[in-house]
Structure 1
Amino acid sequence: MNYIITTEQLTKKYKSFVAVNDVTLHIRKGSIYGFLGPNGAGKSTTMKMLLGLTAPTNGSFTIDGKHFPTDRIAILKEVGSFIESPSFYANLTGKENLDIIRRILGLPQSTVDDALELVGLSEFGNRLAKKYSLGMKQRLGLAGALLGRPPILILDEPTNGLDPSGIHEIRNLIKSLPDLYDCTVLISSHMLSEIELIADDIGILNHGRLLFEGSLDDLRQHALQSGFATDNLEDMFLSMVEKDNASRKQRAKL
């Protein structure tokens, strides 16, 4: 199997609190990997470790054959990211905001127009960012992640705060990206119905631990064997998390 991102017992502790606990991931090249979990499960912390924004307490990870921390800068050059709500300079245009990122990354000028075209903002590139709708701001954030067409995208809640129309637009855009330019997408979201429509593989995190990793078909088989409902991803996810929470409570009583 050709994995472009692997983690090995990745762990992050904050004093006595364990945010991410021995997480081992296998993300296939060219896939969309849905990274799921309740609030506080450790998804964002895991993504921040992969981006070098916080250091692991234990464990290791490899991205496209490069090892952290030795190859940290080389890894960052291959990864486009969208973490939480993107912020922009309100009195600059969309194009000017992207140009700042482009210069930091040392990319050619043409990458700005290319990214705007990818997200459908070409005709709004010269509009001030403060005049963008929320959906347009999310698209601009994605354009920043797409600058230079990196082989790997890490997207944390890219549809957060959008109306149904905006969610539909962003979902279709993300779904098209692997075929459009052969990239791999790691995406977290609370919109499980959206993830079900785009993801090839699923990772489910709860209290910092990985409960499941595999394809949607693998998840259905796992759910069937566990006696869970298999009607949709949300039902399977909730059943798995609730079972884990119940077993944690039981262990705490012992």
Structure 2
Amino acid sequence: MLTTNMISTVGLTKKYNNFVSVNGINIHIRRGTIYGFLGPNGAGKSTTMKMLLGMAKPTSGKFHVNGKVMPEDRIEILKNIGSFIESPAYYPNLTGRENLEIIRKILNLKKEDVDDALELVGLSEFGDRLVRKYSLGMKQRLGLAGALIGRPPILILDEPTNGLDPAGIHEIRNLIKELPKMYNCTIMISSHMLSEIELMADDIGILNHGTLLFEGSMDDLRAEAKVQGYNDNNLEDMFLSMIEADNKQRKQRAVI
């Protein structure tokens, strides 16, 4: 039976000795939507994504992906996720196509899936060029192609437009925005480019110091901003106001 949420977490926590990186968060990513996962550097975004990908073990809490439970259904879960985390590494002396061929063989996908992924990210004419000759933006596109190969139902993307020029950002943003319509995938995306997230995301999650401050639609966020007296002109203003208010409260509690 399909659930409304493709990904949901319950009390998800990650500690490193006495440091709490992720503090008991409950997130809900609706099936077929784009979820913008936001927070300052060090907020715990990448750690959360790594836990969802089985790259980091939660200290406590649990999560479900497409009705499956981690870690019991780890292999089944990971088969259905394409990811782009922290500028993926590729073999520089192989071509873009050859790098994707390695991923294809590991995942036991069809040969035509490589061409499909290259076309999706606009690298078809550069697929046979050595990766060491790629620009930073082209490497970002190749990383996204690696996540998209085989068109997985879930995509977890961390800063996918980093290094792209304005035209490239526009192109990748439009691609990401269209993906759920193209093949009904669900996307979790983290980015510091809040104006881009505002144009893409159906729902927003805001993390600060490992704590989830807000989760909901842009309309929900605007309503919350008005209640709190924040500037609600755009996502960046609302985000900064929410983070600033939380940091101020934390300092006040520390003094007490």
TM above 0.5: yes
Tell me by how many angstroms 1:220 deviates. Answer: 0.1
CA distance in 1, matches of 2:20, 2:172: 33
Secondary structure (helix, strand or coil) at the match of 1:177 reads helix
Which residue number corresponds to residue 60 of structure 2?
58
CA contact (8 A) 2:21 2:210 kept: yes
1:195-237 CA-partner distances (Å, limit 9, x unpaired): 0000000000000000000000000000000000000000000
Q: Which amino acid aligns with 2:29?
A: I
Match of 1:9 in 2: 11
Q: Deviation of residue 163 (structure 1)?
A: 2.3
1:188 matched to 2:184? The reply is: no
Post-superposition, which runs of at least 4 consecutive aligned residues in structure 1 deviate over 6 A?
none
3-state DSSP of counterpart to 1:158:
coil
Helix, strand or coil at the partner of 2:249: helix
> What are structure 2's unaligned runs of at least 5 residues?
none
Q: What is the CA–CA distance in structure 1 between the aligned matches of 2:187 and 2:92, rounded to whole Å? A: 28
1:90 to 79, 87, 92: 92
2:16, 2:79 → 1: CA distance? 28
Cα distance per residue 1:172-207 (max 9 Å; x no partner)? 111111111110110000000110000000000000
Question: Over residues 17-64 of structure 1, what are the superposed CA-to-partner deviations in whole Å (9 max), with x where a residue is unaligned?
Answer: 000001000000010000000000000000000000000000000000
Show the 5 A alignment for 1:143-222.
Answer: 143-222=145-224
Aligned residue-pair number = 254
Note the 1:220-239 alignment, pairs <5 A: 220-239=222-241
Counterpart Cα distance in 1 of 2:93 and 2:170 = 28
- Which residue of structure 2 aligns with residue 45 of structure 1? 47
TM-score, scaled to structure 2: 0.97
CA-atom RMSD in angstroms: 0.9
Identity rate of aligned residues, in percent? Answer: 72
Q: Name the CA distance, whole Å, in 2 between partners of 1:180 and 1:87.
A: 27
Q: 1:132-151 counterparts in 2 under 5 A?
A: 132-151=134-153
- The alpha carbon displacement at 1:132 in A equals 1.5
Greater Cα shift, 161-170 or 223-232 = 161-170
1:199 and 1:61 map into 2 onto residues whose CA distance is 22
Say if 1:35 and 1:221 are closer, same or farther in 2 by CA, change over 3 A.
same
Q: Does the residue aligned with 1:4 lie in a helix, a strand or coil?
A: strand
CA shift, 1:133, in A, is 1.8
Residues 155, 188 of structure 2: 8 Å contact kept:
yes
Please give the alpha-carbon distance, in whole angstroms, between the structure 2 residues aligned to 1:160 and 1:249: 32
What secondary structure does 1:75 align onto?
A: helix
Find the counterpart in structure 2 of residue 101 from structure 1. 103
What amino acid sits opposite 2:127 in the alignment?
Answer: G
